[in-house]
Structure 1
Amino acid sequence: MKLLLLLCGVLLLGNLHAQGLWPAAHIRQIQSRVLKEQRTYTVYVPQSAHDSLVGRQRYPVLYVLDGESQFQNTATVLEQLSWQRVLPEAIIVAIHNTDRIRDLTPTHIKSGLYMDQRGAATSGGGEAFTRFLQQELMPRIDSTYATAPYRMLIGTSLGGLFVVNTLLHHPDLFQAYVAIDPSLWWDDAKLVREAGNLLAQPKFAGKTLYLPVATAFKEAGDTVAAAARNTVERRAFLAIPDFITELRKHPASGLRWAAKYYRTEGHNSVPLPGTYDALRHAFSTHQQLSIDNVALLEPAVTKLRAPVLQDSLLAVCRAVSRQLGYTVRPPEALVNRLGYTYLARKEFAAARAFFQLNQQNYPDSFNVYDAMGDYYSAVGDKQNATREFSKALTIYQYSETRQKLQTLQAKGGGKNVRNPDSR
């Protein structure tokens, strides 16, 4: 379907301007029996999930803590980079706070280095919040939306502390963990002191961790001075570096991890660049599908013959599938564009091969049958063109396709006037 070529380039920007900043985001609520309260979350679903012209697909889910303040960071990066195919399209579930200190802290403290007695009064509810995610929110999301078996947890500050605690104590809940400048100083760096024994267990295979660390406005000399004293302040200051040291000590854990120090970012400014880099890290193989990879994916540039190009595309998707742990199909819009590119160049065998690939991968899509109808029309096979357009219209009634079918029928579309395989 030729319209899909236009949708790939302008749908995102058109929707953002016409309907507001996040037309695909909605605020939802769930009554939690675990937490004994109503919880609010924002859900972002890609536009393609509601597009009647294309096939259905399943999406990774990014769970974002501090949702009321961190949703836009994640949505901005995801929208931009998924449109460019640097990242896959994904669902975002941004969880709003009620009692942030209660939910995001793994242990109860009476007071701490950055927490007075009043602030710490409700602390230590992290395990209950984990049960809420596992037993209530995640099943709700999986039963409501087209989710893929890939989940990421993103948290900043105390949210980052919760992310690290979840990774160490509940590694199977998510495939990817993003702890942005985590508050590992909590409870005299208790989690850091536990990390060595936990990381020594080979239970992190297939898991990913990204750790952005803000260092702006922190005195460089404090590290040396603090290291000379075995104090709460020293352990708090060195909590993140000590945790990174533990990560380095345990390569056999199977965890794929990376840490980055942001020398010009402070604690409150690091979430945006940290989220960008974290998503790039988790989905690093997906960049091979980027629109910038013209040497592989642009017929006007690539030196590959069409069959080799298709094989290379499939090889990239297999690599992406291995990294994410589930089958990732070649993007329908990309394959559609390749098919039409070869069709315009009258390389009919190549065009048909790409259109057939889409039919194999997206049998419920209107577009793939409409595109194959255009192929058969181009080679003069009216009978098969009629069949494909008719099939497309059983999935979605699209006026342009209806007109193409009526034109064929008026010209005797029931007769096969040319054999496409003869070309």
Structure 2
Amino acid sequence: MSARMNHGFKLALLLLFFALVAARNTRGNQHKDTVFGKRMTLYSKVLNEERQLFVHLPVDYDSSAKKYPVLYILDAESTHLFRQSITAVTFFAGFRRIPRMIVVGVVNTDRNRDITPRKIKQRASSGGGDAFLKFLVSELIPHIDSRFRSAKYRVLFGGSSAGMFSLYTLFSRPEAFNAVIASRPALSSVPGYTWDSDVILRKANQLLEKKVSLCRVLYIDYGGQEDALHNPAPIRRLSALLKQKAPSNFRWETKQMGESGYRSAESLTNGLLTVFDGWYYPADNLHTAGMAGIKSYANRLSERFRYSVPVSDLLAERDLILFGNRFLEIGNLVEAINVFEYACTVYPKSWVFFNSLGGAYLAHGQKELAIKSYRTSLELEPANANAIQKLKQLREHK
């Protein structure tokens, strides 16, 4: 299966996973925070107000010492769409198509003010985009980085007018985010929404005229039958400008969807699969190249994405157990030990990995190391019957 999955298959998988999440949530409110994330507030000196956030942590955040890329989602007060977005991220990270990520949802207080970089005549509070951008860069990002184990790789996602603001962010402050995903950005002036609609093209042209390195990723999608506000003509003009002037290290894609309208999870999924194209490491490669091969692959990804990509971002806990046990089954004890030793460093609180490492050491004849691993497993899980039995046998045979 390729990293860019078949469109219909993707939607079927997403619908299935949404149903599972919805079913789980009917069991009680105790699961609410695992879907929406931790509710947080941050006082902004720039905006002179409290801002509400949702922070959703990866499933292995508490059991690992890893750092994670951060996905910032605008318009997070739309909890239905935000939940779908989290579900999409969780699902595709589970299949190793994208990395596990910290997801930060930014809730609006005055949407017209914050996501409009220029004044809109019919919207009295509009035109505060630069202040909101300053809040994101100087307050929100440092706040998240100081409180969570974040890797220095950030993705910004917004749709409609928030998609327009996402483009404005990229071309105004390209250092702020490594990738931007804009779903059907509202780039046109229409009666009732009259503004300086060429500002995005001017900002893009000004940046590209500097001929600076721009190691960033941009994904834009749009429908073929959009309304006047979301007319794709400005997107096509932006695409032509990028073809003419974008530096070689700037990756970008515009995509016309099969249907018009805002589809948060689908757009986010397509965008993330574009941003992290080539992320997936096939299981067959691990069988043939072992841990050395996947470490080399992780190093290449680190160079490409410019942050340290650990092997555990390419192999989840269940994968490490699966492949470690597979190496045991075929008698490749050295690779089994390599896998389980690595797993124990990433998940030092997992009694399962220490138990498996003990078995690998024992099969390899390294009894002292096996005893040490079984003891650690037993400390983490006193009811581990296998460790109790193995330690007893090892003591009897000393």
Smaller-chain TM-score range?
A: 0.7 to 0.9
The worse-fitting range, judged by mean Cα deviation, of 177-186 and 205-214 is: 177-186
* Residue of structure 2 equivalent to 1:124: 127
Aligned AA (1:107): R
The worse-fitting range, judged by mean Cα deviation, of 42-51 and 362-371 is: 362-371
Could you tell me how far 1:349 is from its partner in structure 2? 2.6
Q: 1:299-314 counterparts in 2 under 5 A? A: 299=287, 304=288, 308-314=289-295
Q: CA RMSD in A?
A: 2.8
Q: Note if 1:265 corresponds to 2:247.
A: no
Could you tell me how far 1:365 is from its partner in structure 2? 4.8
- Does structure 2 retain, via aligned residues, the 8 Å contact 1:383–1:414? no
The normalised TM-score by structure 1 is: 0.77
Could you tell me how far 1:380 is from its partner in structure 2? 5.2
* Residue of structure 2 equivalent to 1:97: 108
* Residue of structure 2 equivalent to 1:245: 240
Q: Note if 1:407 corresponds to 2:389.
A: yes
Q: Note if 1:37 corresponds to 2:52.
A: no
The worse-fitting range, judged by mean Cα deviation, of 156-165 and 382-391 is: 382-391
Relative distance call for 1:104 and 1:218 in structure 2 (3 A) is: closer
* Residue of structure 2 equivalent to 1:6: none
Aligned AA (2:126): S
Q: Using the alignment, how far apart are the partners of 2:231 and 2:95 within structure 1?
A: 40
Q: 1:176-187 counterparts in 2 under 5 A? A: 176-185=179-188, 186-187=195-196
Give 3-state SS (helix, strand or coil) of 1:172's partner: coil
Aligned AA (2:115): L
Relative distance call for 1:213 and 1:362 in structure 2 (3 A) is: same
* Residue of structure 2 equivalent to 1:285: 278
Unpaired runs of 5+ residues, structure 1, are 1-9, 112-116, 220-232, 417-423
* Residue of structure 1 equivalent to 2:10: none
Q: 1:234-260: CA deviations, max 9, x gaps?
A: x97632211111111113263211110
Q: Using the alignment, how far apart are the partners of 2:278 and 2:181 within structure 1?
A: 18
Q: Note if 1:197 corresponds to 2:197.
A: no
Relative distance call for 1:379 and 1:263 in structure 2 (3 A) is: closer
Q: Using the alignment, how far apart are the partners of 1:353 and 1:39 within structure 2?
A: 46
* Residue of structure 2 equivalent to 1:419: none
Q: Note if 1:389 corresponds to 2:378.
A: no
Q: 343, 347, 351: which one pairs with 2:332?
A: 347
Could you tell me how far 1:265 is from its partner in structure 2? 2.4
Q: 353, 358, 362: which one pairs with 2:346?
A: 362
* Residue of structure 1 equivalent to 2:310: 329
Q: Using the alignment, how far apart are the partners of 2:23 and 2:381 within structure 1?
A: 24
Could you tell me how far 1:412 is from its partner in structure 2? 4.7
Aligned AA (1:252): P
Q: Using the alignment, how far apart are the partners of 1:209 and 1:80 within structure 2?
A: 22
Give 3-state SS (helix, strand or coil) of 1:258's partner: strand
Q: Using the alignment, how far apart are the partners of 2:375 and 2:21 within structure 1?
A: 30
Could you tell me how far 1:353 is from its partner in structure 2? 2.9
Could you tell me how far 1:124 is from its partner in structure 2? 1.0
Q: Using the alignment, how far apart are the partners of 1:26 and 1:106 within structure 2?
A: 29
The worse-fitting range, judged by mean Cα deviation, of 364-373 and 188-197 is: 364-373
Aligned AA (2:381): Y
Q: Note if 1:58 corresponds to 2:58.
A: no
Q: Using the alignment, how far apart are the partners of 1:349 and 1:91 within structure 2?
A: 34
Give 3-state SS (helix, strand or coil) of 1:93's partner: strand
Q: Using the alignment, how far apart are the partners of 2:356 and 2:47 within structure 1?
A: 51
Q: Using the alignment, how far apart are the partners of 1:100 and 1:65 within structure 2?
A: 10
- Does structure 1 retain, via aligned residues, the 8 Å contact 2:68–2:150? yes
Q: 370, 374, 381: which one pairs with 1:398?
A: 381
Structure with bigger gyration radius? 1
Aligned length: 362
* Residue of structure 2 equivalent to 1:208: 217
